[in-house]
Amino acid sequence: MKLSKQTIRTMWVIAVLPIFYSCNDKALNTINENVVSTTDYFKTSDELLAGTNSIYATVRNISLVSREWFFLHDLRSDDAAAGGSQLEVPRFQILSGNTDPTNSVMNSVWNGLYTVIHRANTVIQNGPNVTDNTAVRDRVVAEAKFLRAWAYFELVTFWGAVPLYTSPVKTPADYQARADVNAVYTLIVEDLRQAATTLPNKSATDKGRATNGAANALLGRVLMQRNDYAGAKEALLKVTTSGAYTLTDRYLDNFEEETEFNAESIFEVVYVDKGDNDFNWGGNDTPNSAQSTIRNQEYNPVAWRNLIPSDKLLNEFENTATGAAKTDPRYSFSFYQTGDRYNNDADVLTDADQNGNSSTVNGVRKKVSVRKFMILYKEGKAKASYHPGGNNQRIIRYAEVLINLAECEAELGNLTAAVNYLNQVRARKSVAMPAYPTSQYPTSTKAQVIKAVMHEKMVEHSFECIRSIDILRWRPKGYFTQEPFAYFRSQRDELLPLPIAELDNNPLVSGKQNPGY
Amino acid sequence: MQPYLPVYNPNNLGGFMGPQNSFDASDPVNPVERAFLVENINNTTRILGTAYLKVTIAPWLKFTSTYGLDYSNVAIENYTPIHNDGGTSIAATASIQNQRLLTNTQLFTQQLTFEKSFEGHNLGATFVYETQGQNVRNETASGTQSTNVVRTLNGANNVTANSIYETNFIRSMVGRITYDFNERYLLAASLRRDGLSVFAPGNKFENFPAVSAGWRIDRENFMKDVNSISELKLRGGYGITGINGVLLGNYPYLQPIQRNQSTYPFNGTVINGNGSFYNGLSNPNLAWEKTKQANIGLDMGFLENRLTFVAEYFQRKTDNLILTVPTPTSFGFGGAGTLANVAGMENKGFEFQASYRKTRGDFTWNVTGLLSVIRNQVVRLNNENASITAGGDADFGGGGPLTNTVAGKPVQSFYGYVVEGIFQSEAEVTAHAKQSGAAAGDLKFKDLDGNGVINDDDRTFIGSFLPKFSYSLNYGANYKNFDFTVFFQGVQGNKIFNAARIIREGMPRLFNADVAVLNAWTPSNTNTDMPRAVNGDPNQNVRPSTRWIEDGSYLRFKNVMIGYNAPESWTKQTGVLGISRLRLYVSAQNLFTVTKYSGLDPEIGSKMVR
């Protein structure tokens, strides 16, 4: 068939016309069919639970408990010294008092804590809209409040007056100025009180979730920091009277993988070893990323050995060589030194295994390294050198509650009660140190009991990220005969500088740096 | 990696040798192992096609319909075998990752063209209706094998799979009218209406008008007797343009929930994805970015256009520039910013071009010189006193931002401290403004605000990556069957932040130091600009400062080519070989570069995204 030009023309126009009409505005309203938008989520208890789980995931991440958080605490305490020149620059700068607002370790912790707060605020804000399972809803909102309180307490400890966000940010201009320190503490205490009344007991939850015991123990910590010893005592007594917790006979159970979630553990951050050497270095949230902690690499005597115990810490332990009735067994539970056995007692640690600096313990030069949370106890050198592992980081354990009660009683003038609490800790089966008073630690005055409390806390809880908080409480009271930081400058080194990214991007914080920086 | 370690070790599974000692040497990797152990196969199939139909409805009215297709299928296979280099790189299982990326773009264009001339008046009009749709499907699957024999996912462990499907759609309508009178007076006007799916609902459509005019002065009667001027044209225009919004992503205004994207192993058991969160803000107002552009130009030709000059001045102003506005870290998004139409930016400048062509005889040649001067300035940001800092990296300068963008300065100017020299004694440290951690041998930073303390308020703008001007010179010549071209190119007045030097000279770690650090300051080696070597860098000598800023100006002999074209009389005789054209040439690129920049190449882009 031969078509005329005119016919072809007509046919073409007919063919084209539908294209004009089919392409109306609807084609432009593309839908992202891969995701759910923020307005369509957190409507059910399952979704709210997922929201709370993501807060824990941030706590667990590299910016916080699996790396930078324990570094920041240890570097801001007198527990730690540099393992050697392998300690990275920003870490050494904190340790030597040269922190500046660009410090990457400090910035990571700040970012991580505020991510916890954003995610917690999201759950807390959306909670009232969820009605399908109020029991789960109330529990996960209470967990979010516990974690928000933990994050704000960390922030106020390191930086003082920080921006206070109590609901998720809605627009790019929802800036918050630095809140008064009292306002930050008010929110922390409020959150913890609510969490304590709502959260279940330890046995009733998934292992790793916050409990009322965890909320009360943390509340005790927080109120002590506010000098509210009566309030702290009240909260801490709820932990001891609950009957849910006891000291483990074996001190090392608190730092080993097989004895996670033991009777002494009140709150711990959970890690899993997938049998490889992977660690989530990027810190991105991905469903199947590594869930290990790098602590076993950072401090391990045969691996990087970035931080080691300070001489001050090592010499704090009671020793027969310096006149004590008994050498404190917690010394060898807390540290590895040359000649110690590891790898299920199959290997002996040598000087050559331990890179870097030596320590002086009671006048003797030797190589000493951190033992707590290392999994070297069951691994050979070759594996331990590169194996992050899945040992849970214990955040709060029962021994701390007892020592904190001792401090509260001492501050409230009940010296006998205080000494009794301390002696419970010393009577642990594997420790069995002579009860106070001892010749080195008499307990007839408040000052003497406080000295015993400070000693007991340091040797019981070294490298557990508690000392840095204690220093802030004890320094203004004049309890230290010698300032813990050699570099300390008053009106500066009490706090860290606010991160540069916050100063640069939050106009309400810009120009309001902490003093001295 | 430490230079004394061997690359290979046949006793190790996989045959490579990794860093052995954990003493600061375990961070580097064996680069040869990285390159050869992991297999990465990328297969791409691409189909490009265009079909069109032209209909001459009348001599003055033509219709064209075009259909275009761009289809690609990319298959990527990654394979890492079971290996153990005795160091950090240990894999007990082989890992396999497969990815398939299907991209399909379809274009429909309908164009109607009108052209009519009468008594010296030339009138033209064009109407275009165009749609372009793209869809992308991305499928990934990965898993592990406990043997190096099986190299596919058949029977694999830990198999995970994912698929993503995204689309975007553009619809445009363009009307354009041109008119000239005796090619002496030229006028053009156009209006374009674009709709783009990637912008927020309600903001998908935008109008883009433009007008231009030209005056061929040489065609005026009063110029008839001026024979030396062969062309003289004055032209100018004004218009509004948009940007390709697809570059922002397919759904940039939307902040999605990261559903089940995070994990927490309650009870100490492995779980894959039990946490949901979101990490930023939606922007329901994200709209087209519009740039107003005005230009005026003069084209001149002399000696029958053998000698030509072009001069142009232009000004481009964007009022609603789309920027990633960084959120304060206290928002809890990890610093992830939000895309928003917040900024104003202006570019203005001159361009000059001069060329001469010798066209007669066996030996012909031409030379063209180009000079362009552009000035960039950010006019406005999201709020008053706002600044957008970027580029901070713990390994490159300790984490402080490398650039800052504020109103009144060129975009992304380098930002940092000003180095005044090296402290030669403790007395100099004491006499200077209080600089935490400083000792003799450390860098002395300038107290810009004069408050007696060196802190972040003493950072300032220390240069821009944008050149003051850029230029090029092109020379081409032909002699019979030989041709010859050279091309020179250069920029002047730009700065480069030489971040690689921070690793080589900053002395942060015990590896990868440059020999330059041997000249570090010591009490007996004081005449140096290399600060002292000290553990932990207490003075933060590595911080972003003028220390790392270098002059990026360069003149580069970019290209030279000598060619020979076989004469047609020869190619005609190639018979069955059927060679129609034969050309032999040699060329060389980047023969030499004149620059003060100490890095590898001054023609450098931005910092690598790690």
pLDDT 10s digits, A459-498: 999 999 999 999 999 999 999 999 999 999 999 999 999 9
Q: Where are the alpha helices (DSSP H) in B515-592?
A: 568-571
B-facing residues of A in 300-319 (CB < 8 A) are 302-305
B361 contacts chain A (CB < 8 A): no
Q: Where are the domains of chain A?
A: 38-198+493-505, 298-383
B-facing residues of A in 3-22 (CB < 8 A) are 8-9, 12, 16, 19-20
Place of tokens 């922002």: B248
Residues A496 and A68 sit within 8 Å (Cβ to Cβ): no
Q: What is the pLDDT of residues B483-513, one digit of tens each?
A: 999 999 999 999 999 988 988 898 877 677 8
Structure ipTM: 0.92
A66 contacts chain B (CB < 8 A): no
B26 contacts chain A (CB < 8 A): yes
Amino acid type, B263: T
| Candidate from B195, B334, B537 with C-beta closest to A28 | B195
Given the DSSP bridges, would you call strands B460-461 and B338-358 parallel, antiparallel or unpaired?
unpaired
Residues B484 and B562 sit within 8 Å (Cβ to Cβ): yes
Query: Would you state the pLDDT for residue A18?
Result: 46
Q: Is the pLDDT of residue B573 over 80?
A: no
Quickly state the pLDDT bin for A11 (edges 50, 70, 90). Answer: low
Number of A/B CB contacts below 8 angstroms equals 330
Q: Is the pLDDT of residue A5 over 70?
A: no
Quickly state the pLDDT bin for A205 (edges 50, 70, 90). Answer: low
Beta-carbon separation of B255 and A37 below 8 A: yes
Please tell me which residue, B397 or B163, carries the higher pLDDT value. B163
- Closest chain A residue to B268, measured at CA: A272
SS3 of residue A5 by DSSP:
helix
Q: What is the pLDDT of residues B395-440, one digit of tens each?
A: 788 778 899 888 999 988 999 999 999 999 999 999 999 998 899 9
| Candidate from B65, B195, B332 with C-beta closest to A115 | B332
Residues A38 and B283 sit within 8 Å (Cβ to Cβ): no
Q: Is the pLDDT of residue B143 over 70?
A: yes
Set of chain B residues whose Cβ sits within 8 Å of the Cβ of A392: 268
Beta bridge partners of A307: A82
Beta-carbon separation of A304 and B401 below 8 A: no
Helix (H) or strand (E) holding B185: strand B185-196
Helical packing angle, A398-411 and A415-426, nearest 10° = 160
Q: CATH second-level architecture of A38-198+493-505?
A: Alpha Horseshoe (1.25)
Q: Where are the domains of chain B?
A: 40-181
Region B557-567 average pLDDT: 93
Q: What is the pLDDT of residues A376-417, one digit of tens each?
A: 999 998 888 888 999 999 999 999 999 999 999 999 999 999
Set of chain A residues whose Cβ sits within 8 Å of the Cβ of B93: 276
Sign of CA dihedral B511, B513, B515, B518: negative
Sheet hosting strand B403-405, strand order edge to edge = B388-390, B403-405, B413-416, B460-461
What CA–CA distance (Å, rounded) separates B366 from B358?
6
Please tell me which residue, A34 or A276, carries the higher pLDDT value. A34
Which residues have a Cβ under 8 Å from the Cβ of B316 and sit 6 or more positions away?
B291, B292, B293, B346, B347, B348
SS3 of residue A126 by DSSP:
helix
Query: Would you state the pLDDT for residue A450?
Result: 98
How far does the CA of residue A112 sit from the closest CA of chain B (Å)?
Answer: 7
Query: Would you state the pLDDT for residue A481?
Result: 95
Set of chain A residues whose Cβ sits within 8 Å of the Cβ of B198: 30
Instruction: Render A352-407 in DSSP notation, one character per residue.
Output: TTS-S--EEETTEEE-EEE-TT--GGG--HHHHTT------EEEEEHHHHHHHHHH
SS3 of residue B219 by DSSP:
helix
By the 10 Å C-beta count (0-12 exposed, 13-18 middle, 19+ buried), A453 is classed as: buried
Q: Is the pLDDT of residue B23 over 70?
A: no
Beta-carbon separation of A122 and B277 below 8 A: yes
Model confidence pTM above 0.90: no
B-facing residues of A in 129-148 (CB < 8 A) are none
Q: Is the pLDDT of residue A1 over 50?
A: no
Q: Is the pLDDT of residue B3 over 80?
A: no
Q: Is the pLDDT of residue A69 over 90?
A: yes
Beta-carbon separation of B268 and A37 below 8 A: no
Q: What is the pLDDT of residues B90-102, one digit of tens each?
A: 888 999 999 999 9
How far does the CA of residue A63 sit from the closest CA of chain B (Å)?
Answer: 10
Beta-carbon separation of B332 and A287 below 8 A: no
Closest by CA to B406, choosing from B378, B430, B442, is B378
Closest by CA to A307, choosing from A359, A231, A229, A230, is A359
DSSP state, residue B574? G
